[in-house]
A and B are shown apart, each in its own frame.
Chain A
Amino acid sequence: MEKEFKTIEHERPWRYQTDDGLTVTRGSAWSGPGCHLGCGVLMYTDEEGRLVKVEGDPENPFNKGRLCVRCLDVMEAVYHEDRLTKPLKRAREDRGKDTWEEITWDEAYDLIESAFKRIREESGPEAIAFFQGTGRDIAPWITRYAWSFGSPNNVFGMSGNSCYGPRVSGSMAVTGSFWVGDYSQQFVDRYDDPAWKCPECIVVWGNNPLVTNSDGLYGHWIIDCMKRGAQLIVIDPRRIWLANRAAIYLPVRPGTDTALALAILHVIIEEDLYDHEFVECWCYGFDELAAAVKDWTPERAEEVCWCPAEDIRAAARMIAQADGCVNQWGVAVDMQKRAVSSGHAIIDIFAITGNIDNPGGNICPDYILMYFNGWGREFLDPEKRAARIGDDKYPMVANAYSKAMFDSVVEAIDTGEPHQMRAAWLQTVNTLVNSAPDPAYVVRAMRKLEFVAAIDLFMTPTIMALADVVLPVASFPERQGIRIGDGVQRAETINRAVNRIGEGIDVRSDMQVNMELGQRFRPEAYPWERVEDMFSAIFEETGKSFEEVRDQAPVYLPFEYHKYKTGKLRADGQPGFNTSTGRIELWSTYYNLLGLDPLPTFKEPVHSPVSTPDEFAEYPVVLTTGARNWSQFHSEHRQVPRMRALHPYPTVRVNQALADQFGVVDGDWVWLRNQYGRCKRKVLVDPGMMDGVASTDHGWWMPELGGTEEEGLFGAFEYNCNMLFKFDPGESGFGCDYKCMLCTIDKCAPEEAGIVATVKGDGIRKAVAMADLHEAPETVIL
């Protein structure tokens, strides 16, 4: 049967003129700069073609006219004086030095082509690693580029792939699909669609979804659902704002989510609150799970998680009794060494309460392009794929993941085992300050590569430290593209509103560069003349070209609930889930086969008050990293004045007791320090922090500081919380304890403190005005 796609009937064409002489271009804000989401935007350009205003598009059901600070202020990023606007090159021995020389695109392409082809001939394509940043609009493109080049070693630069991947792979492993909360995002008419029901309960587990934006979730949908009656359970070591609007708040010691989940399962099973019909018909291994959680009383979990037993009980009852309960989980589930078990335990809660594939519960989106699995696999030689670095050690990543283990690739670069690595491609990725543990080691290792090419919006510490050739990438208002990301997919186009050629600026999109260079490396993988033809090829299933989608976007895929009853989750058309037993595997046959725990089991984090008491005596603070901020997406926006003004410094949140313990006060500069390293932070006393736990934000560098290695690579090590971490992935290949480490807090010496950060082009905050008042006002010397 033909799929029926739903489209939007717009009042105006995708591009039109206003009465006052402005041109409006409708499109999707898929980034960078910006986040994972791709909100609908209206971009206004003036008579000179300059972008002067961006508005949220009310006709786009995704954001319904709303827009966050980063896109409203995107002009400051697009026209920033520090933007990379010309290709650059530098001698290999000058890495870390500011000796860049401007070159033409042709020269840059020629340099990359000759180096990559020479290495491919001499050492095989696998000797080149292809790095990507977080999965915005680069994930499918980089896989095709790497695989058609011939290399299986495409990488996301994080130990244990600890972001999104563990949840997705774990969910696929035990349920056969990935599930996201049902906020009506699959329907054109959203909350008014008669098939939708509002979730009665939303469990916000290990993320601050209003601020972050993973899994295709526009965070404020949670507010929309609260207005329609949804209740919240919030699980977080920090009492985030949502926690103070929640029915139940469960503070949890970082890294003990699995114990909490097992206790919730215990209550649901012991009190006979589970969905008997769903468990009997659609789950596998219930008795084994029941036996495994028998001893996990809430009282036992209270000791482990530092969370009141009675609240755990109340949460379990509320989840079980809700008609429609969303699993709103986040990266805290991924960023622990035992991520696979934590994900499995949490999925089991929603499985045995029948909150899978149901209205107001958790839904399985259909795909245009299976985003997570990559694009262009047919071009990769199966023998090369089988020899991918790290797969011999990490069975689950080997089997189920589209990227090679970062941990193993860096080791190979450093040691030459299992084979020599000679070059790298870095695509819109700032690994050194965002995601890599032990960044100083990463620099030492990657310096061994004889050739490194990079593409990005700005000169980053990663590029300054490592690259030999740099290409300037286009921001979203400057390019064509398509939006087909994570979560519930919809077909949309990213439309160029600004052409910089008239200004003598030739910036090109990631996909254009991948296509143009890909045509030099493997022409048959890129049989398209224009990028728009490539996009149309991806949209083929919808029967619409790039230009047609541009007129009608967003295009919605068909959707239905309860697909497991009708055989639509499985390729063979049989009812059930896409696992070997056809059921949701509470006891996983797949994990068992791989030698992993078939049942979710709790183990203490590697460094914790319980597992390393001696270390805890010296480093008595449990540290969680990766706190999100409204105005900064990972390491972006640090040089954008208005965005930096909203959050000028890296902070560490502690409660008053912890501040007192270390003799520090709100606004003090401190070092977070442990046996591996240290980083500088400003203290933010937050009464909502759990006792004994500190929370800090990641991705920090200071574009206003000196960029050369001698000057400190824009503060890339000084302000980098990953200095306190080592490579230490889970046995499956997924997870690393980024969110559960130990540290101590040292007040900075007077000469170290008071480092004043300013942003080029404008002052940062001169008054308290516009700042979150809770964040300590700062006197800034300009």
Chain B
Amino acid sequence: MKKAVLVDYYYCTGCHTCEIACAVSHDLPTEQAGVVLNHIGPWESSRGPWQDDYLPFWTKNCDLCQGGQAAHDGTPMCVHHCQAQCIKMGEVDELARELAERPNQALYLIEA
């Protein structure tokens, strides 16, 4: 199975929960992270609407919570706690189908 993460970044509010859920459960020092939140914006785009998106990025520290850090139901800590519920982790083909359904999403292949 090829494991992937799908982020519906239209709804990502930039709450940092994924970063901290990961950092705490993996006991990472503050200069490292398994997930890094990026903020792209805000600025007024030349096309009119404002550019203001957050997008989490999974770093090489990410082990998909395979070392016993997962939440009690087996989901990785970042997915379990995402306040906007805009992160999914699963099989890449399935998530790729979801990706095609609407814009403002990003798909990461974590484990090939």
Interface size class of A (residues with CB under 8 A): 35 or more
Does A767 have its Cβ within 8 Å of any Cβ on chain B? yes
Stretch of A61-69, A181-189, A417-425 with 4 or more beta carbons under 8 angstroms from chain B:
A61-69
Does A762 have its Cβ within 8 Å of any Cβ on chain B? yes
Residues in B whose Cβ lies below 8 Å from that of A777 = none
Interface residues of B in 29-88 (CB under 8 A from A): 29-33, 36-39, 41-44, 49-50, 52, 54, 68, 71-73, 77, 80-86
Q: Contacts A53-B25, A244-B50, A773-B38 known; A66 to B17 CB distance under 8 Å?
A: yes
Q: Contacts A55-B80, A239-B42, A764-B30 known; A770 to B19 CB distance under 8 Å?
A: yes
CA separation between A780 and B44, bound complex, in Å? 31
Residues in B whose Cβ lies below 8 Å from that of A226 = 11
**A69 and B43: CB pair below 8 A?**
no
B13 contacts which of A55, A220, A227, A243 (Cβ < 8 Å)?
A220
Q: Contacts A220-B84, A223-B84, A763-B30 known; A68 to B43 CB distance under 8 Å?
A: no
A471-497 interface code vs B (CB 8 A; 1 in, 0 out): 000000000000000000000000000
Q: Contacts A687-B44, A766-B30, A770-B23 known; A69 to B16 CB distance under 8 Å?
A: yes
Stretch of A560-568, A581-589, A639-647, A728-736 with 4 or more beta carbons under 8 angstroms from chain B:
A639-647
Q: How far is the CB of B40 from chain A (nearest CB, A)?
A: 8
Does A79 have its Cβ within 8 Å of any Cβ on chain B? no
CA separation between A267 and B25, bound complex, in Å? 53
Q: Contacts A642-B20, A646-B16, A770-B19 known; A688 to B50 CB distance under 8 Å?
A: yes
Residues in B whose Cβ lies below 8 Å from that of A5 = none
Which residue of chain A is the closest to B86 with respect to CB atoms? Answer: A223
Residues in A whose Cβ lies below 8 Å from that of B17 = 66-69, 72
CA separation between A56 and B17, bound complex, in Å? 11
Residues in B whose Cβ lies below 8 Å from that of A20 = 68
**B81 and A73: CB pair below 8 A?**
no
A55-B81, A770-B31 given; 20 more Cβ-contact pairs under 8 Å: A42-B72, A53-B24, A53-B25, A56-B80, A65-B80, A66-B82, A67-B17, A67-B83, A69-B20, A72-B20, A72-B21, A75-B24, A210-B15, A210-B83, A244-B41, A631-B20, A646-B16, A766-B31, A770-B16, A773-B39
Which A residues are within 8 Å of any B CB, using their own CB?
A: 18, 20, 24, 42, 53, 55-56, 58, 65-69, 72-73, 75-76, 210-211, 219-220, 223-224, 226-227, 239, 241, 243-245, 630-631, 641-642, 645-646, 686-688, 762-767, 769-770, 772-774
Contacts A/B (CB < 8 Å), 26 sampled: A18-B72, A42-B72, A66-B82, A66-B85, A67-B17, A69-B17, A72-B81, A210-B83, A219-B83, A220-B15, A223-B86, A239-B52, A241-B54, A245-B10, A630-B14, A641-B30, A646-B16, A688-B42, A688-B50, A763-B29, A765-B30, A767-B31, A770-B30, A770-B36, A770-B37, A772-B37
